[in-house]
């Protein structure tokens, strides 16, 4: 996961975060303490190293390797679902998931 907002969502949902990687530029920021505490391991990386391990072209200073959340399967019998396919920016995924939840979608499916 890339970005403080998405990693913060994982923390709020009590998803296990195995590894957390912080860009040195934000590592001392108190706002990130809530992300560091629940992580099993946390690493601070220099800018160059952080950029080389990030899966996106414009990393957002926080990366996490997390347990895949286990949610109940959506049968499609009730409520609507949102299908996402080919999104490249994790921030867009997070925005769509939050919007879908706010509008009462029963499921968000990733392709």
Which helix (H) or strand (E) is 17 found in, with range?
strand 17-23
Q: Give the pair of three-digit tokens for residue 51.
A: 């950029």
Mean pLDDT of residues grouped by 10 in the chain (111 residues)?
Answer: 88 92 87 88 93 84 88 75 82 86 86 73
Q: Dihedral through CA 31, CA 36, CA 37, CA 42, nearest 10? A: -160
CA distance 51 to 21: 11
Which residues have CB under 8 Å from 62's CB, separation 6+? 2, 3, 4, 7, 20, 21, 22, 23, 26, 32, 35
Q: In which residue are the tokens 């939050």 written?
A: 98
pTM strictly above 0.75: no
The pLDDT, as a whole number, for residue 42 is: 93
CA distance 22 to 42: 8
């Amino acid at each position: 996961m890339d970005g403080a907002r998405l990693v913060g969502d994982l923390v709020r949902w009590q998803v296990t975060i195995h590894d957390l990687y912080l860009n040195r530029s934000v590592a001392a920021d108190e706002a990130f303490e809530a992300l560091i505490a629940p992580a099993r391991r946390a690493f601070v990386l220099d800018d160059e190293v952080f950029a080389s391990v990030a899966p996106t072209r414009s990393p957002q200073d926080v990366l996490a390797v997390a347990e895949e959340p286990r949610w109940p399967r959506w049968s499609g019998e009730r409520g609507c679902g949102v299908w996402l396919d080919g999104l490249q920016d994790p921030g867009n995924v997070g925005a769509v998931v939050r919007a879908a939840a706010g509008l009462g979608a029963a499921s968000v499916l990733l392709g």
